[in-house]
């Protein structure tokens, strides 16, 4: 008999998530039915979107999120023991998966592709849906053209750091906005960003005017709020904004969102196009994105960083730290 450990939502988050909002409980798993297989978690992903989406579900749910698990028992020949699977099953150590289930939040589990000598954990980051978030979110929504100027907010995060590098691969002038000098240094010196602005210490308006003398054509937005207003105010006519996240307002209740300046005036006068997206809209092209990113990683055009927290019991700390911006690159838990 297998006993899974899992995090359940004990209380909806209010403001910054608290450790007491989640509880670790045991769950006795039944025996495998035909077609099912059992995975043991190796890596858990912690991502900003979790802060928001848990609010949609009732207290008592398993805390949401993707993981990489190794198949340790199977009654399905397509999912043999030893293979790894990327599955959106939440924060849990052991999970029985029915491949025909409609669960998993519309993201069916898939066998992790072979990444050669690269770490498997990249399947939760640069070579998984976060990587596809960067790739499709930039290419499809911003439709950037070589020579244009791209601004990325939340630039030192998993998605932001990836977006900026794709921008460089595509021939754009790339400016990142991040929250520490160390992050800015990393973006410029290791990832090849043309400029990086520390929003905590610099006057963003003035710094951006200097960094983007031809103004901004594409803006990949992870943060929302007043930083986004400042960037959009410096866009060229017909600028495109890809809204991937709004981390600046994730800790607020929906009925008490932070206030910032009205956006519509500049949206009209600059004829901006702003589009929000969730990566699953491109799930029919899942492998296309993963393969493109894998190619760039192999060619050393695309670098990645992981902030790895060890231990299932430290998953909450990894999550809370990521929301506070303590990570560089992808925040991961090694179970």
Q: How far is the C-alpha of 273 from the C-alpha of 327, rounded, in Å?
A: 31
Among 74-82, 175-183, 217-225, 322-330, the segment contacting a second copy (CB under 8 A): 217-225
Altogether, the residues listed in the chain come to a count of 335
Q: How far is the C-alpha of 114 from the C-alpha of 133, rounded, in Å?
A: 20
Q: In the complex with a second copy, which residue's Cβ is closer, 265 or 298?
A: 265
Indicate whether 106 belongs to the interface with a second copy (CB under 8 A). Answer: no
Among 119-127, 161-169, 262-270, 315-323, the segment contacting a second copy (CB under 8 A): 262-270
Indicate whether 203 belongs to the interface with a second copy (CB under 8 A). Answer: no
**SS3 of residue 156 by DSSP:** coil
Q: Which two tokens stand for residue 269?
A: 């006068």
Report yes or no: 231 and 153 within 8 Å, Cβ to Cβ. Answer: yes
Applying CB under 8 A, which of residues 200, 265, 298, 301 lies at the interface with a second copy? 265
Report yes or no: 306 and 330 within 8 Å, Cβ to Cβ. Answer: yes
Q: In the complex with a second copy, which residue's Cβ is closer, 243 or 335?
A: 243
Q: Which two tokens stand for residue 262?
A: 């009205």
Q: In the complex with a second copy, which residue's Cβ is closer, 156 or 232?
A: 232
Torsion on CA atoms 12, 17, 18, 21, rounded to nearest 10: 20
Indicate whether 261 belongs to the interface with a second copy (CB under 8 A). Answer: yes
Question: Which parts of 43-72 interact with a second copy (CB under 8 A)?
Answer: 52-53
Applying CB under 8 A, which of residues 30, 259, 284, 300 lies at the interface with a second copy? 259
Other beta carbons within 10 angstroms of residue 209's beta carbon come to: 12
Q: How far is CA 227 from the centre of its chain?
A: 19
Please, which residues have CB within 8 angstroms of residue 221's CB and are 6 or more apart in sequence? 153, 228, 231, 241, 242, 243, 244, 245, 246
Q: Which two tokens stand for residue 145?
A: 């053209």
In whole angstroms, how close is the CB of 260 to a second copy at the nearest point? 6
Q: How far is the C-alpha of 131 from the C-alpha of 134, rounded, in Å?
A: 5
Among 128-136, 164-172, 254-262, 301-309, the segment contacting a second copy (CB under 8 A): 254-262
Q: In the complex with a second copy, which residue's Cβ is closer, 57 or 277?
A: 277
In whole angstroms, how close is the CB of 289 to a second copy at the nearest point? 17
Among 102-110, 191-199, 256-264, 313-321, the segment contacting a second copy (CB under 8 A): 256-264
Indicate whether 88 belongs to the interface with a second copy (CB under 8 A). Answer: no
Indicate whether 139 belongs to the interface with a second copy (CB under 8 A). Answer: no
Indicate whether 244 belongs to the interface with a second copy (CB under 8 A). Answer: yes
Residue 189, CB-side half-sphere exposure with 13 Å CA sphere: 6
Applying CB under 8 A, which of residues 15, 77, 254, 300 lies at the interface with a second copy? 254
Helix axes 286-298, 158-169, angle to 10 degrees: 70
Question: Which parts of 268-287 interact with a second copy (CB under 8 A)?
Answer: 268-278, 281
The footprint of a second copy (CB under 8 A) covers: 52-53, 221, 223-225, 228, 243-246, 248-250, 252, 254, 257-278, 281
């Amino acid at each position: 008999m297998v006993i899974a450990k899992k995090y359940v939502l004990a209380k909806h988050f209010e403001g910054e998530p608290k450790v007491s909002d989640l509880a670790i409980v045991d769950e006795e798993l039944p025996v495998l039915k035909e077609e099912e297989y059992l995975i043991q978690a190796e890596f858990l992903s912690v991502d900003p979107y979790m802060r928001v989406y848990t609010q949609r579900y009732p207290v008592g749910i398993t805390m949401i999120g993707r993981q990489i698990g190794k198949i340790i028992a199977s009654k399905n020949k397509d999912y043999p023991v030893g293979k790894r699977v990327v599955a959106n099953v939440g924060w849990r150590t052991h999970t029985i998966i029915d491949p025909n289930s409609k669960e998993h939040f519309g993201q069916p589990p898939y066998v992790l592709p072979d990444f050669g000598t690269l770490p498997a954990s990249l399947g939760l980051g640069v070579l998984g849906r976060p990587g596809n978030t960067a790739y499709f979110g930039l290419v499809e929504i911003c439709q950037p053209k070589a020579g244009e100027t791209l601004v990325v907010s939340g630039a030192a995060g998993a998605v932001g750091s990836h977006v900026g590098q794709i921008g460089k691969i595509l021939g754009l002038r790339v400016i990142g906005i991040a929250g520490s000098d160390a992050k800015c240094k990393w973006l410029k010196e290791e990832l090849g960003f043309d400029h990086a602005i520390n929003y905590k210490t610099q006057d963003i308006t003035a710094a951006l005017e200097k960094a983007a003398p031809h103004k901004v054509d594409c803006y990949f937005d992870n943060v929302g709020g007043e930083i986004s207003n400042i960037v959009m105010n410096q866009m060229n006519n017909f600028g495109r904004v890809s809204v991937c996240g709004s981390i600046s307002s994730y800790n607020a209740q929906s009925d008490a969102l932070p206030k910032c300046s009205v956006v519509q005036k500049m949206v009209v006068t600059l004829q901006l196009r702003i589009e929000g997206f969730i990566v699953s809209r491109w799930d029919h092209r899942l492998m296309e994105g993963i393969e493109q990113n894998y190619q760039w990683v192999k060619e050393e055009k695309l670098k990645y960083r992981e902030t790895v927290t060890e231990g299932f019991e430290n998953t909450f700390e990894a999550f809370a730290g990521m929301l506070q911006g303590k990570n560089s690159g992808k925040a991961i838990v090694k179970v």
